[in-house]
């Protein structure tokens, strides 16, 4: 039996973990910044962190999404946060949503890399951890201080925000 207060965190890369090569101007992956972010945020939650992959979400394959689903299924914890690239976060949420009615899974990411200093990643991570502790079982996307059901969200590329598909 697992400790019900522990939250499993899976990292998958995305803008969250990108770094900038000052010589070439390219963005690349070296390692996850999650532990640095948790330290900076003075997080004292009981977390089990696991890096699944380091990819740009535009390059995430169906196999990558299946790996995420498999690890969510295998996780002892009932509360899971997944850091993910924003470009296809909704596609991964759509793979997980129909499968997970018994766990609370929150996907989050960043529009600006953590290493840039002006990133929204730290804020999004904090809200995702809070939502994971308080929401009923289901799959959600936490971005911009808001939480969306997995099947009611899209990334508005013109405005650079996530928004609800629900008509008000």
Q: pLDDT tens for residues 120-160?
A: 888 999 999 999 999 999 999 999 999 999 999 999 989 98
Question: What pTM was computed for the model?
Answer: 0.90
Residue 74's pLDDT is what? 97
User: Measuring CA to CA, how many Å separate 145 from each of 50, 55, 161, 163?
Assistant: 24, 24, 11, 11
Is the pLDDT confidence value at 119 over 90? no
Confidence of residue 13 (pLDDT cuts 50, 70, 90): confident
Residue 40's pLDDT is what? 83
Say if CB 137 and CB 150 are below 8 A apart.
Answer: no
How many whole angstroms separate alpha carbon 163 and alpha carbon 168?
A: 12
Residue 160's pLDDT is what? 85
Segment (H or E) for 40: helix 34-40
Say if CB 23 and CB 48 are below 8 A apart.
Answer: no
Q: What angle do CA 56, 98, 108 make, to 5 degrees?
A: 35
Confidence of residue 1 (pLDDT cuts 50, 70, 90): very low
61-100 pLDDT tens trace: 999 999 999 999 999 999 999 999 999 999 999 999 999 9
32-51 pLDDT tens trace: 878 888 898 899 999 999 99
Segment (H or E) for 70: helix 62-74
Q: What angle do CA 163, 107, 52 make, to 5 degrees?
A: 145
């Amino acid at each position: 039996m697992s400790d019900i207060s522990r939250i499993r965190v899976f990292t998958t890369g995305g803008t969250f973990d990108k770094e900038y090569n000052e010589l070439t101007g390219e963005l690349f992956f070296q390692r996850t910044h999650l532990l640095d972010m948790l330290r900076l945020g003075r997080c004292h939650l009981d977390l089990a962190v696991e890096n699944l992959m380091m990819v740009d979400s535009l390059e995430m394959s169906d196999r990558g999404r299946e790996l995420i689903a498999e690890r969510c299924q295998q996780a002892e914890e009932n509360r899971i946060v997944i850091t993910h690239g924003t470009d296809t976060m909704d596609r991964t949420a759509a793979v997980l949503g129909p499968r997970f009615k018994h766990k609370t899974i929150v996907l989050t990411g960043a529009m600006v890399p953590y290493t840039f200093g002006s990133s929204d990643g730290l804020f999004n991570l904090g809200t995702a951890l809070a939502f994971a502790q308080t929401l009923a079982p289901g799959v959600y996307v936490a971005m911009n201080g808001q939480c969306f059901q997995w099947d009611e969200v899209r990334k508005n590329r013109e405005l650079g925000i996530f928004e609800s598909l629900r008509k008000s």
